[in-house]
């Protein structure tokens, strides 16, 4: 299905049911570092949960509301980047991402999120792409900044995670930028 090269050594592939086992293993191995920022990890306890997530993503894709990709590096799954449901009324979408510990800090997420943002703004014709990061998540904010997203402001107590509520910095990029 859909795949997008991330030269020189990685690629994005749309997540399919056959990827459930390796994706779940990666999520499980990174549980402790994902939990502070990604609430879905606390409802992901088996391959079946991951398969359900992938199936929902494929339905989302089939209905034209965006999709979720795995990030593969040299044929090993390293993380994920994806779209929340597209708001077609406003031609707007929010994207999210994560990467496993052993692949962190190599610019993989920056390249993956750049490819997805370009796809949204150029190929899908969206007007606005948004990234929300916790105020404490400096690495994620750096990704948004490196992609040329503009910092708009902070939503207080906007995301519930295991240890409480996160203040979220909103970044956006418009098609004209
Ligand atoms: C946020 C995350 C996706 C970044 O992945 P990554 O592989 O480090 O991303 P990149 O290598 O493309 O870029 C990271 C940038 O953040 C910087 N960075 C990394 N860790 C940092 C830290 N602890 N403090 C400050 N900056 C940091 C890097 O230096 C780099 O910026 P630079 O190029 O200006 O130096 C990764 O840390 C992650 O998966 N975290 C857990 C899940 C998560 O937070 N997802 C995002 C939710 S909004």
Candidate of 29, 82, 139 to mutate for ligand 1, largest count of ligand atoms within 8 Å of Cβ: 139
pTM above 0.85, yes or no: yes
Q: What is the DSSP string of the chain?
A: --EEEETTTEEEEE--GGGHHHHHHHHHHTHHHHTTT-GGGGG--SHHHHHHHHHHHHHHHHTTS--EEEEEETTEEEEEEEEPPPBTTTTEEEEEEEE-GGGTTSSHHHHHHHHHHHIIIIIS--SEEEEEEETT-HHHHHHHHHTTPEEEEEEEEEEEETTEEEEEEEEEEETT-
User: Is residue 139 within 6 Å of ligand 1 at its C-beta?
Assistant: yes
Position 3 scores a pLDDT of 82
Q: Which phi and psi (to 5°) does residue 154 adopt? A: -120, 130
Half-sphere exposure of 33 toward its Cβ, with a 13 Å CA cutoff?
Answer: 12
User: Is residue 138 within 6 Å of ligand 1 at its C-beta?
Assistant: yes
- Residue 1 predicted with pLDDT over 80: no
pLDDT (mean) for 74-92: 97
pLDDT digits (tens, 9 = 90+) for 54-67: 999 999 999 999 99
Domains plus CATH for the chain?
Answer: 3-174 (3.40.630.30)
Q: Are 78 and 111 in contact (CB under 8 A)?
A: no
Candidate of 9, 34, 38, 142 to mutate for ligand 1, largest count of ligand atoms within 8 Å of Cβ: 142
Position 162 scores a pLDDT of 86
pLDDT (mean) for 116-134: 97
User: Is residue 159 within 6 Å of ligand 1 at its C-beta?
Assistant: no
- Residue 163 predicted with pLDDT over 90: no
What atom in ligand 1 is closest to the CA of residue 100? 39
Tell the residue nearest (CA) to atom 42 of ligand 1: 98
């Amino acid at each position: 299905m859909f795949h997008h090269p991330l030269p020189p050594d990685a690629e994005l592939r749309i997540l399919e049911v056959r990827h459930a086992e390796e994706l779940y293993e990666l999520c499980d191995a990174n549980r402790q570092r994902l939990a502070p920022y990604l609430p879905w990890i606390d409802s992901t306890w088996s391959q079946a949960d991951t398969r359900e997530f992938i199936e929902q993503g494929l339905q989302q894709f089939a209905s034209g509301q965006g999709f979720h990709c795995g990030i593969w590096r040299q044929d090993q799954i390293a993380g994920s980047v994806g779209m929340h449901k597209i708001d077609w009324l406003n031609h707007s979408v929010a994207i999210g991402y994560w990467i496993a510990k052993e692949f962190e800090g190599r610019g993989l997420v920056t390249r993956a999120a750049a490819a997805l943002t370009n796809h949204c703004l150029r190929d899908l014709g969206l007007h606005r792409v948004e990234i929300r990061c916790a105020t404490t998540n400096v690495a994620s904010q750096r990704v948004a900044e490196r992609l040329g997203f503009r910092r708009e402001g902070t939503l207080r107590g906007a995301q519930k995670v295991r240890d409480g509520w996160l203040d979220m910095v909103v970044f956006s990029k418009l098609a004209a930028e």
